Structure 1
Amino acid sequence: MGSGAPAGPGDEGGAPAGRKPYLPPATQPVRGVVWALHLAAPLAVLWLLLANPEDLNHRFRWEHPPSHFWLIVAVAGVNVALGAMISQAATRRQDARLLLVSLVFLSSAGFFLLHGLATPTVILDKGSYGFDIGQPVGLTVAAVLAFVSSLPLGPRAAAAILARGDLLRAGLVVVLVVWGWASLVEGLTPLSAPPPPGGGTIGVFSWIGAGLYAVAAAMMFRIHRRRPSAMLVSLMTAYALLGESMIVGFFRPNWLLSWWEWHFLLSLAFVFVAYSAYIQFRREGSSQGLFDSVTLNATVRRIQAQYDEALEELVGHIRQMGESGSRIPVSLRLAGKFRLNEGQAAVLEQAGQALAVERELSTRLGALVDVGRQARVGLGEAALLAGALERVKQAYGDVRIGLVSNGQVAIGARRFAVDDFKDIEAITGGGVVVHPLTVKGVLAGALEVPVGTTRQDEALAATLASQLSIALENARLYRELETLFRQYMSPDVAASLLADPDQAALGGSLVELTALFADLKGFTSFSERVAPGEIVEMLNRYHTAAVPCILRHGGTIVQFVGDALLALFNAPATQERHATHAARAALEMQVAAEAIAAGNPGYPRFRIGINTGLALVGNIGSPELRGFNAMGDAVNVAARLEGQAEPGTVVIGATTREQIGPAARVRSLGDLSLKGKEQSVEAFVLTALE
């Protein structure tokens, strides 16, 4: 693990379509121009040398084979070290790009060393053709490898390259051995013979190699824009310098100033990468992640997953350490697994502790939010406390709740009197903090929370106690409403008033609804024959059977007047197919009422009238006392139709039948003349619904 790893996978091909890519400091325009000027300087020097060859280039001819040999050996050694390090990283990360980049340095090192061994007076007495073209050939081979390494290799291509990694290395060794044998054994091949007249050159291949290096540098720059890295900048710069060296090498009679410039560019390219690796090694104290930023996207994602795994494991160990009370730095347990040095282990320890605290706080805040969500209207007190306790235990540990009973709060073996919480916010001791739970400012219970390890734990525990107090108070207030409020009005009206208290204001709105009127035919004569207590018993039995039928189909009961009741459908709650729901409720009421009347022959019988139309719906009365009701011709017609119904029947108006549709089985009553209506009203007896 090393900090040289990229921050995220990203696409190697650039920023997503439609979004301007982020430019890190190293690629800002000003710094980019400075970087480009540094790369252009060697080409400018070459132009000056070639433009005035007699004045500059030839005047400074310096033929000193020992200096050349030892320069080549030193740079080749740097290359071999870099190639070996990158090769190890490629094996460790199983990354095809690192494998190809390592071959770039190893091939350059090999041919560079062979070029040095071919220096006159070292092995051969005179200059040779191999001495002239050895390094350009090696740079061309390295250029092909550099170009391939910069491509966004897919999974199949990367797997194919990795599978042939040993073969590629062995092939490179064979090529170097053959080239060295051919160029250093005198008289064996033309490579060991003196160069042909005019000097040796590989001509157009120098330009091809330079082009490949330029493309590779540009591709590396695109990767760098997605995941900025000093190592990517170094590699990009090295590719650019190698390309320039191939251009310079095309115009280089041996031992002239331009020829030495070619060697200087080669040395600078490799030393630049080596120096960057050294700086990063000094910063991190480990070579573990020096080249992670150069890897393919798939490797980046795999490395990121390893980082996530390390942090998750570290957080888990930190939690275990907190539970067990151990003070052993848990990151040391991971140092061997993830190859961390002491500095990295210390940083990871701090990051893990911070992450553990952050995740613990997030978990506890999430528990607070969930407790608030669970405290919804209608949830019983027992269910509320059980759900809240189960949720907060996941975040806070062994949390306990006790409610006041006989003036005391019992939490496990501990007992608290009501006076224990006077003038204090919490009781601390035994590794726990006990906060009071109150309802309307009066002690209703207590919450016991384990003492936390962060500065925010005390505030979070107090907030949790406040949240539970509010939830407990709401549950008990709602229970009172359920007992005192809801039993005196329809649930829909009660729910609407709870959700929007402004609906209790006087006034109303015009709404299409279906009104259901029902009363008991023969109630007056029945009342004259029996005692008052029997009248109440009869009414309660009928209404107990009728009310669930109405509520089950979404109706709202707005009036009980003696033996009569008025129910509305589609008011106050909006309801589709309200006429059908009213009809079904009426038929079910008659079935339920018949069951009661069958066992009581003297009881009166229900008759029901239903009508659909516009009515003014709202609160009617005075500021001191009001009631929810509906007024209008549609409601009046429903009352008149109920008066026309026979006991045990349901009479509906024409509009109701029309809205029910063909599902209604009816018997026509013709046009009825109703009290208060100038025009007759078409009516039907509803016998069934399909």
Structure 2
Amino acid sequence: MSHAAGTLNGEAAPESPGRQTEPYLPPATHPVRAVVWAIHLIVPMLGLWLLLANPDTLDIKWQHEPSHFWLIIAVAGINVVLGGMISQAAARRQDARLVLVSLVFLSSAGFFLMHGLTTPKIILPAGSYGFDLSQPVGLTVASAFAFASALPLGDRAARWVLARTGVLRGALALFLVLWGFASLVPDLTPLSDRPPADGATLGLFSLVAVFLYTAAAIMVFRMHRKRPSSMLISLITAYALLAEAMFAAISHRNWALSWWEWHILLTFAFGFVAYSAYIQFRREGSSAGLFDSIALAATVRRLQAQYDEALEELVGHLRRRAESPVPVATRLAGKFRLTESQAAVLDRAGEALANERELSERLAALVDVGRTARVGLDEKELLATALDRVRQAYGDVRIGLVADGVVSVAARDYSEHDFPGGEPVRHDDALVHPLTVKGKLAGAMRVPIGRTPQDAALAGLLAGQMSISLENARLYGELSTLFRQYMSPDVAAALLADPEQAALGGSLVELTALFADLKGFTTFSEKVAPGEIVDMLNRYHTAAVPCILDNGGTIVQFVGDALLALFNAPARQQDHALAAARAGLAMQRAAARVAEEVAAEQAAGRLNGVEWPQFRVGVNTGMALVGNIGSPELRGFNAMGDSVNVAARLQALAEPGTVVIGSTTYEQLGTGARVSSLGDLSLKGKEQPVHAYVLHALPE
């Protein structure tokens, strides 16, 4: 039987989902364990069959009253201990199932005691009905409690059982007392009389108990499949052995080996539960949670919540490093009935867990700082956002930036000489790290240390991350001043993400070119002063350039009053023909507003009366060679090809205030574009005529 305990109590962990090829079977349903378990249950029944099949040769009688008395008293004692322990667990957990299971062992213990006391030649001179009936009656009562305990008790039923726990125990105690008087006092009731020679009839009790124990074992087995546990396996085994014992009791040949066999089965049934409880106690070092796996699912969930709350309390206390007259582990030890050594282990485990969690939070803060240091974030906003995040994980972090070669942090001034070799400076319980940009001191950061062993290393990582973020912000600020003034933000971002698009060389790309210039610029220039020419150009370009950039275009040339913008180069752009057409119409609307403002100012006498020139726009789509032309030190982005030349020719033919597009552009605009056909045009440098259109409007 000890081999069975070792076999059934071992709980195998399921394989990881990634490697699992067959469904996980809980320990009791694992093929090998199931076979061993079945063997231990079949062997007693096989032995009973052999004894009863050979009553004269094998099922011999051996009547030894003292052996029977002490065997039954020992089993009763085991049941008293188990019943008491489970009763304490039931009161501690307020669990109805544990109440009913405790009554299984307490009722068995009481009737075993009655059976032992009625053993012939102990108190009574001979056998009695009480001797024959005490054990089967007691086990039948226990089977009723076992069946009830295995039912899926809901909240209402559980509350009913808990509210009547005292009544159930009192009724059981009263029944035992009355049974004892009736069995032990001579001539008081028939229970003290001698039964017939073949013993009292036990068939009804036995059959009822066999059914109830079998049903209880099946229901507990189903619980075990959902929540594998060695104590549940022990309970299943006990109920199965008790069912076999009651089945064996049907024969009731007093003092025969078959009669002794069902006494031994009873001993094994309750001894098995006791042994399992002892093994679990040795493993856990405490009896507080021995029977938690038997409890109702609601109780298990409540306990899990309590454990989670206690763990959070422990971790929170250790993270804060709060000074308390009573250590948190001691408070939890009282709450969960832990031993002194367990409380010490809990303190050390909690300390390690708190350090690990704090390390995880600080690493997460580092990741967040890197994530928030995105392109285009203002330097002040970057530092404010980063400080808010890192202070949650690192404590009172301070940052100062260089001004006139000196950086002030936490009321202390530092210069580049204070950080030889870029090493940090320690002051009290903090490290002051230099923040650098292109190898030069740009600021300093003060980080508290001393809370975890990894503080110094984490402070260095944080300083490095902040230096990178600060340098990126400043470099991007320079790019915004230079790079972004020549192209749209989307194009600039695309080139930052893929610098290969700005490499020297060229490639053949379909693009849309937009040419624009001012009709009448030469005449205007002859009539006004140079300063007025500059003012006029700046005013028109200030209005026109955003129209190109907002539609994703890149301005590659300003030549006097003319400009060239490309769409779909250098960064790729969907619907580039439509974007260029929208930009052209937007430019004409912006130019018209400028013309209205100029006319108003001329009427008011704030400007001379010379007529201002007007924009004309040409747009064409086609293949062109685009790339960076120049040297590694100085380069210029441009496009060359027939499609670009056609755009220039269309712009030269356009009337002031209009947008002229080529046939390829028109085809890519789709339906809804409102145009007027100019027919086939003969353009300079082109042998074949080019069909062109005046673009009036695009669909919204």
Q: TM-score w.r.t. structure 1 length? A: 0.86
The answer to whether the aligner puts 1:315 opposite 2:315 as a matched pair is: yes
| Corresponding residue for residue 249 of structure 1 | 249
1:474 to 472, 475, 494: 472
- In the TM superposition, residue 256 of structure 1 has moved relative to its aligned partner by 2.1
1:144-293 alignment runs, 5 A limit: 144-151=144-151, 153=153, 158=158, 161-162=161-162, 165-166=165-166, 168-169=168-169, 172-173=172-173, 176=176, 191=191, 193-196=193-196, 198-203=198-203, 206=206, 209-210=209-210, 212-214=212-214, 216-217=216-217, 220=220, 223-224=223-224, 229-281=229-281, 284-293=284-293
| Corresponding residue for residue 373 of structure 1 | 371
1:550-607 CA distance string (max 9 Å, x none)? 2222222232222122223344445454444433332322222223233165321111
Does the Cα contact within 8 Å between 1:579 and 1:660 map onto a contact in 2?
yes
Partners of 1:396 and 1:53 in 2: CA distance: 83
Partners of 1:78 and 1:128 in 2: CA distance: 25
Does the Cα contact within 8 Å between 1:672 and 1:683 map onto a contact in 2?
no
Partners of 1:51 and 1:531 in 2: CA distance: 133
Does the Cα contact within 8 Å between 1:514 and 1:610 map onto a contact in 2?
yes
| Corresponding residue for residue 614 of structure 1 | 622
Structure 1 unaligned spans of 5+ = 1-5, 12-16
Does the Cα contact within 8 Å between 1:510 and 1:614 map onto a contact in 2?
no
Partners of 1:268 and 1:688 in 2: CA distance: 92
Deviates more, 1:425-434 or 1:353-362: 425-434
| Corresponding residue for residue 524 of structure 2 | 526
2:400 to 399, 402, 414: 402
1:61-80 alignment runs, 5 A limit: 61-64=62-65, 67-80=67-80
- In the TM superposition, residue 74 of structure 1 has moved relative to its aligned partner by 3.9
Does the Cα contact within 8 Å between 1:653 and 1:683 map onto a contact in 2?
yes
Partners of 2:635 and 2:337 in 1: CA distance: 79
- In the TM superposition, residue 130 of structure 1 has moved relative to its aligned partner by 4.2
From the superposition, tell whether residues 491 and 61 of structure 1 become closer, same or farther in structure 2 (CA, over 3 Å). Answer: closer
| Corresponding residue for residue 3 of structure 1 | none
1:649-688 alignment runs, 5 A limit: 649-657=658-666, 659-660=668-669, 663-675=672-684, 676=686, 678-686=688-696
- In the TM superposition, residue 365 of structure 1 has moved relative to its aligned partner by 0.6
Partners of 2:443 and 2:689 in 1: CA distance: 67
From the superposition, tell whether residues 188 and 645 of structure 1 become closer, same or farther in structure 2 (CA, over 3 Å). Answer: farther
- In the TM superposition, residue 312 of structure 1 has moved relative to its aligned partner by 0.9
| Corresponding residue for residue 604 of structure 1 | 613
Q: What SS class does the counterpart of residue 479 from structure 2 fall into?
A: helix
From the superposition, tell whether residues 639 and 180 of structure 1 become closer, same or farther in structure 2 (CA, over 3 Å). Answer: farther
From the superposition, tell whether residues 503 and 424 of structure 1 become closer, same or farther in structure 2 (CA, over 3 Å). Answer: closer
- In the TM superposition, residue 495 of structure 1 has moved relative to its aligned partner by 2.5
Does the Cα contact within 8 Å between 1:669 and 1:685 map onto a contact in 2?
no
1:126-182 CA distance string (max 9 Å, x none)? 433443233223323433433443455555655565455455545545655665566
Partners of 2:275 and 2:695 in 1: CA distance: 100
- In the TM superposition, residue 207 of structure 1 has moved relative to its aligned partner by 5.1
Partners of 1:417 and 1:623 in 2: CA distance: 40
- In the TM superposition, residue 297 of structure 1 has moved relative to its aligned partner by 2.7
From the superposition, tell whether residues 684 and 90 of structure 1 become closer, same or farther in structure 2 (CA, over 3 Å). Answer: same
- In the TM superposition, residue 433 of structure 1 has moved relative to its aligned partner by 1.0
- In the TM superposition, residue 211 of structure 1 has moved relative to its aligned partner by 5.4
CA RMSD of aligned residues (A): 3.5
Deviates more, 1:345-354 or 1:534-543: 534-543
Deviates more, 1:671-680 or 1:550-559: 671-680
Deviates more, 1:72-81 or 1:249-258: 72-81
| Corresponding residue for residue 3 of structure 2 | none
Q: Which amino acid aligns with 2:611?
A: G
- In the TM superposition, residue 363 of structure 1 has moved relative to its aligned partner by 0.7
From the superposition, tell whether residues 171 and 572 of structure 1 become closer, same or farther in structure 2 (CA, over 3 Å). Answer: farther
Partners of 1:253 and 1:585 in 2: CA distance: 108
1:69-99 CA distance string (max 9 Å, x none)? 4543443233233223212322322333322
| Corresponding residue for residue 345 of structure 1 | 343
Q: What SS class does the counterpart of residue 515 from structure 1 fall into?
A: strand
- In the TM superposition, residue 628 of structure 1 has moved relative to its aligned partner by 3.2
1:73-88 alignment runs, 5 A limit: 73-88=73-88
Deviates more, 1:88-97 or 1:207-216: 207-216
Partners of 1:445 and 1:384 in 2: CA distance: 14
Does the Cα contact within 8 Å between 1:619 and 1:626 map onto a contact in 2?
no
Partners of 1:69 and 1:583 in 2: CA distance: 108
Deviates more, 1:184-193 or 1:344-353: 184-193
1:645 to 654, 662, 668: 654
Q: Which amino acid aligns with 1:608?
A: V
| Corresponding residue for residue 105 of structure 1 | 105
From the superposition, tell whether residues 679 and 398 of structure 1 become closer, same or farther in structure 2 (CA, over 3 Å). Answer: same
Partners of 2:687 and 2:187 in 1: CA distance: 132
Partners of 1:210 and 1:481 in 2: CA distance: 87
1:389-468 alignment runs, 5 A limit: 389-423=387-421, 425-468=423-466
- In the TM superposition, residue 221 of structure 1 has moved relative to its aligned partner by 5.1
